Amino acid sequence: MLVIPAIDLINGRCVRLSQGDYAQRTTYDARPEEMVETYVAHGFHRIHIVDLDGAKASAPRNLETLKAVARIPGAKIEWGGGVKSEEALRDVLEAGAAYVVVGSLAVKEPETFAHWLDTFGPERIVLGADVRNGKVSINGWLDDTELSIESLIDRFTPHGLNQVICTDISRDGMLQGPATDLYLHLQTAYPSIDFTVSGGISGEADLTRLHSLGLRRVIVGKALYEGRITLAQMSNPAFSHAL
């Protein structure tokens, strides 16, 4: 199981939201560059960063920060937030992202997302599926749809989709444990896709359980920021830090 530390950005600063609510945010003192350097030094190379300003504005807003963290030796940045045009996608890739997470556009313009998978490759393009009450949410979690995550995934499997980050918004930032049943269902239904568990990780026990269940990837955010889990615990040899 690949463990991926997370950083959320607003105005170039590290924050965490609760349940995707911009009004319920905590701002942390550490600079993004410092955090990435620390993660890499502990063996975590793939790092998940969300441009929350970009998600809200429907266009990337923290590209200078992306350039700075992407220059750190050993860092492989997985970047999402506001990638809703090919120009934005190219800007993010040119700024140094190794992987780009696309969410809202995949719902609104599935033909465009399919084209991106075909053109840029599923090894770099990641589907970001944010779920609330079983339905996909878009636009920085501000708008709900009637689309199920299964229907969304089914649109893109013919185009080689093999990476999906699924966030259960009701769990995100709440430190109440992940929606394990959801991820087990998805991983069983789509064995050729690597699903990333996102939202709700509260400590080492959650990681141990996910690993025992055979889940392949997990993002750790608020629990790490608030000391509920340490980098040493995340470095358990049972977990992988390979890309």
pLDDT per residue over 113-154, tens digit each?
A: 999 999 999 999 999 998 987 789 876 566 788 999 999 999
Distance of alpha carbon 62 from alpha carbon 52, whole angstroms:
9
Say yes or no to pLDDT of 173 above 70.
no
Q: Give the model's pLDDT for residue 113.
A: 98
Contact predicate 126/97, CB 8 Å: no
Q: Which of 51, 53, 130, 168 is labelled catalytic?
A: 130
| CB 116 within 8 Å of CB 102 | yes
Q: What is the mean pLDDT of the chain?
A: 90
At 176, is the pLDDT very low, low, confident or very high (cuts 50, 70, 90)? confident
40: left (phi over 0), alpha (psi -120 to 50) or beta: alpha
Asked if pLDDT for residue 241 goes beyond 80, the answer is no
Distance CA 138, CA 192 (A): 25
pLDDT at 19 over 70: no
pLDDT at 205: 94
Backbone φ and ψ of 30, nearest 5°: -65, 140
- Mean pLDDT of the 4-9 span: 94
**Domains recognised in the chain with CATH numbers:** 2-234 (3.20.20.70)
Banded pLDDT at 174 (limits 50, 70, 90): low
How many whole angstroms separate alpha carbon 169 and alpha carbon 156? 22
Which residues of 52-105 form beta strands (DSSP E)? 76-80, 99-102
Q: Among the options 8, 168, 172, 206, which is catalytic?
A: 8
First to last CA, the chain: 11
| Closest of 172, 187, 182 to residue 219, by C-alpha | 172
Tell me, yes or no, if 8 is annotated catalytic.
Answer: yes
Task: Let me know if 118 is a catalytic residue.
Answer: no
Residues 6+ apart with CB under 8 A from 198: 6, 165, 166, 167, 168, 172, 178, 218, 219
pLDDT tens sequence across 178-217: 989 999 999 999 999 999 999 889 999 999 999 999 999 9
pLDDT, position 171: 67
Pair of tokens at residue 59: 């266009």
35 vs 29, more confident: 35
pLDDT in tens, 39-97: 999 999 999 999 999 988 999 999 999 999 999 999 999 999 999 999 999 999 999 99
What is the pLDDT at residue 15? 85
In order of 5, 7, 28, 173, 235, the CA distances from 35 in angstroms are 10, 8, 11, 18, 16
